[in-house]
Amino acid sequence: MSLFVPPKPAPLPEKPGLLKRARLIARSSLAVLQSGSYAAPGVGRMAVPSVRGRRRWVYQVRDPACARDILVNRAGDFPKGELMGWMLRPLTGDSIFTTNGEVWRRQRRLVDPALEQARVRESFARMREAAETALQGLERSAGPGGAVRVDDAMTVFAADVIFRTIFSEPIAEAEAREAIAAFEAFQDLAYAHGMIGLSGLPGWLMPGTWARMRAGKRLRRVLKRPLDRRLARVAAGEPDLPTDILASLMASRDPETGTGFSPDELLDQVSMLFLAGHETSASGLAWALYLLAEAPDVQARARAEVKAVVGGGSIAFEHMKRLGLVRDVFREALRLYPPVTTVVRECARPEPMGRHQARPGDPLFVAPWILHRLSSVWPNADAFDPDRFDTPEGREAVRQAYLPFSLGPRVCPGAAFALQEATLMLALILGRFELTRDEAWPPPEPVAKLTLRSANGVTVRLTPVSP
């Protein structure tokens, strides 16, 4: 059986000129990663012009052992840098996404049990409501021709899931449009400012800084409205309040200090959950649907699994663990197209990096995009093969070099949530539609800013299947 090999950007020339490299990087961070090898592990470095007069080096980590050392074994020696905090703070505030040290440890002690209490079982019914609403939208959007921009549809779906599971209410259409538009504007500017910021240029000199801050505030306003409604209900002593993620965050207490989150801190953490849970899930689902459309044999087997497990009734939580192939389709989509292509850390002290010596403050780009495609680690590294996760070679590769949710103490706390959300949505779509790529549209073109998307969207043809 031949395996489908989806597109990826070709490696850059050996030494592209500075202006050419700058143009490519301004469009997508994959331009940085393309200078690395898809074949062998290693650590590379790239010079960045600095306004301070001294050349600055950025290190690209594409070695599994080095990545594990940075993210797991010695995570405290490689914090998140202030540049990332400056980029994201207008949206996520001082949340676990940007903080370090004791502030981050306190927040994690509060967030982890809150998400554990709001277990995926308790979230399932709300996820299913959002998925069924999204399915109705797909049926309307498909129309006679059947062609749908599934990346747009999955973005709305993921936003609705976040609202239903955090706030116990669906997102209104106007709020969804406002939130998505604000995030798109924020993402473009935050990414550009991060790349420019590597040169040491002060933020106040960067064009678009105030627009980025306004976009972050717009999205936070969308999230603050339901938060304020809940806080008002609690203050009024209303009985029978929802038991959801927000309720768990509000009730959580730090076992060391006895303190909980203030209202401002709650908004920071909710904004972080929206960024981490909405955009990454939407990206992964869009790529998974594209891959299924290009691999009819895998699609047919996954649909047969859904029919065998679910039958003719409504999908239930108990079905989830039996949808192994559907889940592995999403895991393979995350391997080939990780929503976060680069995990950024910073040296806290001088460190050997490959053949070089990194200085304190030097950025380290740990690259899932390359680690997931190393031909020395992954058999048929560029091919779409969800069955790889059931082989000894595939399981060993996962152990070495699979980090779509990062690794170590800063691993994404919502990984199980995202896997359930995606498995549920894929199962419902497979049960209702046959997917084929719309030949009128070119294949998707991956570009990475804060997250990985397609420059020209992801358009898939949906044809209803017989019940």
pLDDT tens, residue by residue, 150-189: 999 999 999 999 999 999 999 998 999 999 999 999 998 9
Domain ranges of the chain: 18-140+151-434
Distance, CA of 174 to CA of 72 (rounded, Å): 41
221 contacts 107 by C-beta, under 8 angstroms: no
Angle of helix 173-197 relative to helix 150-167, nearest 10 degrees?
100
Condensed to tens digits (0 to 9), the pLDDT of residues 425-467 reads 999 999 999 999 888 888 999 998 889 999 999 999 999 887 6
Distance, CA of 314 to CA of 181 (rounded, Å): 33
Classify strands 43-48 and 56-61 as parallel, antiparallel or unpaired.
antiparallel
Question: Which residue did the predictor score with more confidence, 320 or 85?
Answer: 320
Condensed to tens digits (0 to 9), the pLDDT of residues 403-427 reads 999 999 999 888 888 999 999 999 9
Question: Mean pLDDT, to the nearest integer, of 100-124?
Answer: 85
At 130, is the pLDDT very low, low, confident or very high (cuts 50, 70, 90)?
Answer: very high
Q: In the prediction, which pLDDT does 17 show? A: 66
Res. 60: pLDDT tops 70: yes
- 188 to 1, 87, 181: CA distances (angstroms): 40, 11, 11
CA 217 to chain centre: 21
Question: Which residue did the predictor score with more confidence, 329 or 39?
Answer: 329
Phi-psi region of 180 (alpha: psi -120 to 50; beta: other; left: phi over 0): alpha
Q: In the prediction, which pLDDT does 118 show? A: 60
Distance, CA of 278 to CA of 421 (rounded, Å): 11
Over its C-alpha atoms, the chain yields an Rg (Å, rounded) of 22
Rounded percentage of the chain residues whose pLDDT exceeds 90: 67
Condensed to tens digits (0 to 9), the pLDDT of residues 229-249 reads 999 999 999 988 888 899 999
Largest CA distance in the chain: 68
At 94, is the pLDDT very low, low, confident or very high (cuts 50, 70, 90)?
Answer: very high
Q: In the prediction, which pLDDT does 266 show? A: 96
Q: In the prediction, which pLDDT does 205 show? A: 83
**CATH architecture of the domain covering 18-140+151-434:** Orthogonal Bundle (1.10)
Distance, CA of 173 to CA of 422 (rounded, Å): 21
Q: CB within 8 A of 94, min separation 6: which ones?
A: 103, 265, 268
384 contacts 1 by C-beta, under 8 angstroms: no
Give 143's strand partners.
none
Contacts 24+ apart (CB under 8 A), 206-213: 211/185, 212/90, 212/185, 212/186, 213/90
